[in-house]
Amino acid sequence: MMYSEKVMDHFMNPRNVGEIEDASGVGTVGNAKCGDIMKIFLKIEDGIVLDAKFKTFGCGAAVATSSMATELIKGKTIQEALEITNKAVMEALDGLPPVKVHCSCLAEEALHAALWDYAEKNGIVIEGLEKPVNDIGEHEEGYYEAE
């Protein structure tokens, strides 16, 4: 079996699919190399992520990692949310095949983009958050090296 049971579960029954109408932050990130796009919506109040939803036009691993990433971020403070890296998402899913690692990077980057949007809308700076990219394809080599 190429995918873990958890990956299959989150792919077949993705959590948090949809939009948040009055989202505090929205992040959209794509990967031009595979053509996949992920959009994440966050509802943040008093520094806590109360809700997270996503829409993903992408492969099964992109759906599963968006699902897990939105599950992990709910209830977290903004600083804790920054610790939800692609590695943390992959660990929570019991791993991904190496060719699918970039899909989890899309999830991490979309979360960061949504947090960045929230920070911009509120005129705040989130320490440790770097400006996200629109297309992670540019960064792909770096991500693979990190593995």
Would you tell me which residues interact with ligand FES (CB under 6 A)?
31, 34, 36, 58-59, 61-62, 103, 106
Q: Which is the catalytic residue, given 103, 105, 110, 111?
A: 103
Q: How far apart are CA 124 and CA 58, in angstroms?
A: 32
Q: Which is nearer to ligand FES, 24 or 67 (CB)?
A: 67
Among candidate residues 8, 17, 34, 88, the one labeled active-site is 34
52 vs 31: CA distance, rounded Å: 21
Least distance to ligand FES, CB of residue 6, Å: 16
The angle, 0 to 180 degrees and rounded to 10, between the axes of the packed helices 60-73 and 5-12 is: 90
Nearest residue to ligand FES on Cβ basis: 34
34 assigned to active site = yes
Q: 105 catalytic, yes or no?
A: no
> Smallest distance from the beta carbon of 137 to ligand FES, in angstroms?
9
> Do 54 and 39 touch, CB atoms closer than 8 A?
yes
| Min CB(40)–ligand FES separation in Å | 14
* Nearest to ligand FES of 62, 113 (CB atom): 62
The nearest distance, CB 133 to ligand FES, in angstroms, is: 14
> Which residues are identified as catalytic?
34, 103
